[in-house]
Amino acid sequence: MFASKTALAKWKETEAALCFSSGYAAALGTIPALVEKNDVIILDKLCHASLIDGAKLSGATLRVFPHNHLGKLKSHLEWARQKNSAACILIVTESVFSMDGDRAPLPEIVKLKKDFGAQLFLDEAHAVGVIGRNGRGLAFEENLSQEVHVQMGTLSKALGVSGGYICGLRNMTEWLINRARSFIFSTAPPPALAAAAKAAVDFLSSDEGEKRRQRLWRNIDILAEELSIEPASAIVPWIIGDEKATLVAAQNLQDNGFLVPAIRYPTVAKGTARLRITLSAAHEATQLRSLAGVIKRLPKRD
């Protein structure tokens, strides 16, 4: 896996990278290795289950702030620093949120992190391949990579393989090699998977990879225009609200040749059931316009 780790670090412009068997394993192993009982984790309410589970497993005090609510994040940081001036405070958030497709206000979070001497763990799983030149993610696009202590991602989704990774300082990844239990006690990925992951990273790093990313954004813009929305990523939620109505809508779309999953409780909060549209560079403009046409004929949303 050495070649793929080197390629990841170069692509993400960090000192080092470490690969795990899955994104879930990356979160579950890394967070408990970085914080302990007397530390504090402050986590966005809509973070992925793997981040929540890793935070709980760490034994650190866990505080949750409402989604992207900077005021509440600041008050949690003030509380944590007053509680223990020497504690490690770890802010955990995603760059692109998986069910809403919106972005974290990264510049503002970084400012708060610096004001209170905290560290930042950023899950870039849904930004990689989509945001930033050559799909390097939101931290790169905002020119804040050096302010993020831990960049997590997945080798699935845009990269099309499987596995997870952590990027950051070399001493941090060396620490994880010796302390992250999901890394130490898991079987290494097979050579074929490592080679495929490296090929995917190399492609994204190329001019052709950047052209494909730009083609994806043209598709996002087409759907945005058709539905009069302003998506922030390749994930477009069409919130209906009622769960049964959402299931009916998903079946309606499938009957018209479109596979758009119905997302409902407990994946999202009650009353916020939705169709989750995920775009790719492979979609044709005619397909996107046809999809939008079917969606606009659905019953009005709550």
Where are the chain's structural domains?
2-204, 207-296
Amino acid identity, position 201: V
Confidence category of residue 302, pLDDT binned at 50, 70, 90: low
Amino acid identity, position 104: A
Confidence category of residue 56, pLDDT binned at 50, 70, 90: very high
What is the per-residue pLDDT for 215? Answer: 98
The pLDDT tens digits for 69-91 are: 999 999 999 999 998 888 999 99
pTM of the complete model? 0.94
What is the per-residue pLDDT for 270? Answer: 94
Rounded to the nearest integer, the mean pLDDT of the chain is: 95
What is the per-residue pLDDT for 300? Answer: 63
What is the rounded end-to-end Cα distance, in angstroms, of the chain? 48
Its sign, for the CA torsion 246, 251, 257, 259, is: positive
- Is pLDDT above 90 for 255? yes
- Is pLDDT above 80 for 219? yes
Count Cα atoms within 13 angstroms, Cβ side, for 204. 28
Q: In sequence order, what are the residues at sequence separation of 6 or more whose Cβ sits closer than 8 angstroms to the Cβ of residue 112?
A: 70, 73, 74, 77, 91, 118
The pLDDT tens digits for 286-299 are: 999 999 999 999 87
Cis peptide upstream of residue 266 (ω within 30 degrees of 0): yes
Q: Cα separations (Å) of 134 from 98, 146, 256, 292?
A: 20, 18, 34, 28
What is the per-residue pLDDT for 299? Answer: 76
Confidence category of residue 189, pLDDT binned at 50, 70, 90: confident
User: Which of these, 241, 46, 55, lies nearest to 126 by C-alpha position?
Assistant: 46
- Is pLDDT above 60 for 19? yes
The pLDDT tens digits for 38-50 are: 999 999 999 999 9
Q: What is the mean pLDDT of residues 107-124?
A: 98
Quote the CA–CA distance of 53 and 15 in Å, as a whole number.
27
Q: What is the mean pLDDT of residues 247-273?
A: 96
What is the per-residue pLDDT for 231? Answer: 96
Quote the CA–CA distance of 224 and 215 in Å, as a whole number.
14
Question: Contact, 51 vs 43, CB < 8 A?
Answer: yes
Q: What is the mean pLDDT of residues 266-281?
A: 96
Assign domain 207-296 to a CATH class: alpha beta
- Is pLDDT above 70 for 157? yes
Assign domain 2-204 to a CATH class: alpha beta
What is the per-residue pLDDT for 1? Answer: 55
Quote the CA–CA distance of 124 and 126 in Å, as a whole number.
6
What is the per-residue pLDDT for 188? Answer: 85
Question: Contact, 285 vs 219, CB < 8 A?
Answer: yes
Q: Among all residues, which ones are annotated catalytic?
A: 98, 126, 157
User: Which of these, 239, 233, 289, 290, lies nearest to 267 by C-alpha position?
Assistant: 239
Q: In sequence order, what are the residues at sequence separation of 6 or more whose Cβ sits closer than 8 angstroms to the Cβ of residue 249?
A: 240, 262, 275, 298, 299
